[in-house]
Structure 1
Amino acid sequence: MNYDHLATHLPIHKAALSDDWESVSQIFEKDPELMTKPMSYLGETPLMMAVGTNNSHHFVKRLVDRILAVGDTDRLFVTSSRGDNPLHRAAMTGNTIDAEVLVEQNPGMTRVPNSDGYTPLNLAAWHRNKGTLRYLLRVMAGLVPEEEGSSPYTGVAGGNLITLVIEAGFLDIALEIIGKHPDIAIEEDMNSKTALEVLGSKPGLFPSGSTYGFWSRLIYSS
């Protein structure tokens, strides 16, 4: 078995995890394909590994700039063997800094689900990364309206989003979303649950144990 690839893959892997762009800059200059090549056992690219640390921000910015410079823009969002792209990873780790770098290149990727059907919005809510969730919601608000049937606020996609936001305990964000998209409150998620059902089963979300205040505001917003 040939292990020659380890001579380049291991240093790149280490550099991505330790925010050490300088140690691999020349490697990428000699072989640009390595910048977007899967290198871990999960099929992660150097960009995805670096984003996942939520600490290698210098490495991410320099790598994205270099990928753009060689014209490989379409390779920025290569997916892992689990179906995640770098923006999904940023949402999971609460990495808003690198999410902004990625979204600047392709805002539409905020709508793209992974192989499990979760968008970056869903993942930010699921992992309780409130700052990243708010950022992604702002990006979504600025996008051109989707084609009918593809909105993240309707159908199962909408049900997943609002129930995950409520499960995370972000009731302020839930109210904001419902205020703008009232029908999302009755959309069913992938488990056939609606926002109203999830709320009714979680009195612990409210310090007083009563949901009346929230229900009142929900009714008015809807």
Structure 2
Amino acid sequence: MADDDHVKDIAIYKAALGDKWASVSKLFKDNPSLMTKRITQVGEMPLHIAVGTNSSHSFVDELVKDIVARGENHMLFKGNKYGNNPLHFAAMVGNMHATKLLLKHNPDKTQTRVRNKDGNMPLQLAAWHGNKETLEFLLKETPDLLPDEEGVGPYSGVAGGDLITRTIMAGFYDVALDIIEKHPDIVFLKDSSKKSPKTALEILAQKPESFASGRRLGLWGSFIYSLIPVKNDEGTTDHSKV
């Protein structure tokens, strides 16, 4: 979020921060383009600001309603200078109200897979910022890539590595187990750490306090290994037994 010196329209900015829709409703009615105007130096619109407060819910409701009424649903997902759209903001601050509202207007869920300039989807940001409820909701709403789609899905590559390592580092072990059960290979994926990229197994090995036995990996690790697919003697996929 910006400070006053980097805001292009202080009145709208403060209204979005303070959940004061009434103070700008006439302004928006007279000049609807202001609803989607970039009002900070980093390209944030009023919706970015309001969503980012995680408290200006009435402002968000009215703003979204009016933007949609103008047939400009696509403007709900415009990114700022860093590629963060309002759904990224909602994931970062754990704004469930905005998350559900935005996805209501994106029924094909495509926006859940949009990456910012750091390569993060809303999923990874929810995990990184420790917003468990938002993370669990986005996991249900974020589809993987279909076989005929190009690109890297949210549960593969560096994106998958970030998702699982950040979930574990946040202490959301139940969520991590759910992810691993559905995507066993994710435990081998390295995250995007520049100094020393790590896998989920490496993160777990550094956190013996996370297991009831107090030993490295322990029962948690055994369960993870039991989910990892391996090739048996017949060449078919099976699960290792630990």
TM-score, reference length from structure 2: 0.83
Q: Report the alpha carbon displacement of residue 207 of structure 1 after superposing the two structures with TM.
A: 5.5
Preserved CA contact (<8 Å) 1:175 1:221: no
Alpha-carbon separation, structure 2, partners of 1:125 and 1:181: 17
The structure with the greater share of residues assigned to helix is 1
* Counterpart for residue 72 of structure 1: 72
Q: Return the offset for 1:83.
A: 2.0
Letter in 2 for 1:215: G
Cα shift at 1:165: 0.8
Map of 2:226 onto structure 1: 220
Question: Deviation string for 1:96-138 (max 9, x for gaps)?
Answer: 1111111111221111111111110000000000000001001
Correspondence 1:199 to 2:196? no
Secondary structure of 1:128's match? coil
Contact 2:91-2:131 within 8 A present in 1 as well = yes
Cross-structure match for 1:112? 114
Alignment of 1:1-222 (within 5 A): 9-106=9-106, 107-141=109-143, 145=146, 147-191=149-193, 192-206=197-211, 208-210=213-215, 211-222=217-228
Q: Percent identity between the aligned chains? A: 50
Distance 1:58 1:145 in 2: 37
Alpha-carbon distance between aligned partners in 2 of 1:212 and 1:187, rounded to the nearest angstrom = 21
Q: Which amino acid aligns with 2:146?
A: P
Query: Where in structure 1 are there 5+ consecutive unaligned residues?
Result: 1-5
Q: Per the alignment, in what secondary structure is the counterpart of residue 22 of structure 1?
A: helix
User: What is the CA distance between 1:145 and its match in structure 2?
Assistant: 3.3
Gaps of 5+ in 2: 1-6, 229-242
Residue 25 of structure 1: CA displacement?
1.0
Output the CA distance in 1 between the equivalents of 2:47 and 2:103. Answer: 14
- Check whether the contact 1:36–1:78 (CA below 8 A) recurs between aligned residues: no
Q: Distance in 2 between matches of 1:82 and 1:155?
A: 21
Counterpart in 2 of 1:3?
none
Instruction: Return the letter of the residue paired with 1:21.
Output: W
Matched to 1:206, the amino acid is F
**RMSD, aligned α-carbons:** 1.8
Contact 2:213/2:219 (CA < 8 Å) preserved in 1?
no
Label 1:207 to 1:18 Cα distance change in 2 as closer, same or farther (>3 A): farther
Runs of 4+ in structure 1 displaced over 6 angstroms?
Answer: none
> In 2, distance between residues paired with 1:77 and 1:86?
6
Alpha carbons of 1:67 and 1:189: their partners in 2 closer, same or farther (altered >3 Å)? same
Q: Which has the higher contact order (CA 8 A, sep 6+)?
A: 1
TM-score of the pair, normalised by structure 1: 0.90
Asked if 1 retains the 8 angstrom alpha-carbon contact of 2:169 and 2:203, the reply is yes
Bigger radius of gyration: 2
